[in-house]
């Protein structure tokens, strides 16, 4: 494997946390004893499952300071966080966003449940999702901790993106009908605080519509799990963790599906037949509702 600058930084931080004896505790429930070692990566990384809350996480973990530095600078290797050139952007806006940036099918699935309304794209990168949500009739706002990406979206796509965590926390309750979030939850350092915030921001009957890697799907079981957990994914939230955790933080029902975002999924969502959703795909779809008639 190529040892990139960011991988080297990650391993250096991991060694540093080990030398400073970062406590081995679950980052969600702080359990320190009932932790099962699932395996190791690169000698210095261990992967544990907390037997109290069932969260899978790696040790050592990043500190909040590591995260803050990383998100403002080096986290730029994935396609979803690389900023496009002016020419690319013009092409995307005119002809549609490519690959992982294209939310057409996901927004179609979302609209099957909630056809319109106010949406927060939580962890929106440079705003391509906010732009697509607006195009399909939603009143969308983004939240992104990376200030350069948030600024790019505001300036180039002319969408509203909040980049200050204090500002999003200060939003009034019931601000949104939908929280949309694509591949963000598995990067969050504070899951309790984030779930609490998201349920508070949703109206009664609102919907969390979130995608993360499906750490227990067939591709993960066939080997991808051990590629996914690690540098980019400090935690691997699974259905057995997320169900109870969301219910503890203001959500009143939680269902799971997975990609592909095809006709089968749309039909099941339209029928509200959540129990029949396929949960074996590579992307886990999390559907969390807050109390209300919806």
Q: Which residues bind Zn ion (CB under 5 A)?
A: 26, 28-29, 31, 50, 52-53, 55
Please name the residue ranges forming H helices in the chain: 5-19, 64-72, 86-95, 104-113, 128-135, 147-152, 165-169, 191-201, 218-219, 225-228, 239-248, 263-270
> At closest approach, how far in Å is the CB of 196 from Zn ion?
16
Q: Which is nearer to Zn ion, 52 or 151 (CB)?
A: 52
Taking the C-alpha atoms of residue 144 and residue 126, their distance in angstroms, rounded to an integer, is: 8
Q: Which is nearer to Zn ion, 28 or 128 (CB)?
A: 28
> At closest approach, how far in Å is the CB of 216 from Zn ion?
17
Structural Rg of the chain based on CA atoms: 19
Structure-token pair, residue 109 = 């699935």
Q: Which is nearer to Zn ion, 62 or 283 (CB)?
A: 62
Q: Which is nearer to Zn ion, 6 or 192 (CB)?
A: 192
Residue in 214, 179, 200 with CA at minimum distance from that of residue 251: 200
Q: How many of the other CB atoms lie within 10 Å of CB of 100?
A: 12
Taking the C-alpha atoms of residue 41 and residue 58, their distance in angstroms, rounded to an integer, is: 9
Q: Which is nearer to Zn ion, 130 or 236 (CB)?
A: 236
Q: Which is nearer to Zn ion, 58 or 106 (CB)?
A: 58
Q: Is 124 helix (H, G, I), strand (E, B) or coil?
A: coil
> At closest approach, how far in Å is the CB of 29 from Zn ion?
3
> At closest approach, how far in Å is the CB of 232 from Zn ion?
21
**What's the chain's length in residues?**
294
Containing 122, the helix (H) or strand (E) segment is: strand 117-122
Q: What is the DSSP letter of 187?
A: G
Backbone φ and ψ of 9, nearest 5° = -60, -45
> At closest approach, how far in Å is the CB of 262 from Zn ion?
34
Q: Which residue reads 């973990």 in tokens?
A: 61
> At closest approach, how far in Å is the CB of 54 from Zn ion?
7
> At closest approach, how far in Å is the CB of 106 from Zn ion?
29
Q: Which is nearer to Zn ion, 126 or 215 (CB)?
A: 215
């Amino acid at each position: 494997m190529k040892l990139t600058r960011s991988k080297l930084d990650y391993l250096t931080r991991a060694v540093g946390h080990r030398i400073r004896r970062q406590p081995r505790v679950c980052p969600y429930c702080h359990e320190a004893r009932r932790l099962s070692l699932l395996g190791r990566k690169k000698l210095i990384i261990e992967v544990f499952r907390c037997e109290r809350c069932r969260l899978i996480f790696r040790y050592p973990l990043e500190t909040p300071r590591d995260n803050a530095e990383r998100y403002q600078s080096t986290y730029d290797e994935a396609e979803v966080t690389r900023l496009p050139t002016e020419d690319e952007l013009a092409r995307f806006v005119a002809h549609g966003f490519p690959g992982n940036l294209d939310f057409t099918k996901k927004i179609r699935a979302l609209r099957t449940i909630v056809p319109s309304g106010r949406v927060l794209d939580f962890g929106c990168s440079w705003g391509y999702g906010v732009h697509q949500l607006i195009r399909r009739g939603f009143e969308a706002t983004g939240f992104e901790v990376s200030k350069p990406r948030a600024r790019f979206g505001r300036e180039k796509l002319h969408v509203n993106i909040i980049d200050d965590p204090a500002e999003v926390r200060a939003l009034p309750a019931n601000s949104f009908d939908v929280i949309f979030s694509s591949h963000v939850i598995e990067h969050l350092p504070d899951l309790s605080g984030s779930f609490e915030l998201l349920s508070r921001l949703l109206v009664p009957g609102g919907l969390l519509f979130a995608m993360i890697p499906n750490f227990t799907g067939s591709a993960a079981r066939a080997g991808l799990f051990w590629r996914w957990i690690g540098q980019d994914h400090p935690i691997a939230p699974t259905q057995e963790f997320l169900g109870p955790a969301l219910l503890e933080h203001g959500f009143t029902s939680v269902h799971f599906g997975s990609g592909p975002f095809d006709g089968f999924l749309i039909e099941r969502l339209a029928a509200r037949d959540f129990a029949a959703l396929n949960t074996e795909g590579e992307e886990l779809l999390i559907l969390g509702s807050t109390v209300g008639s919806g």
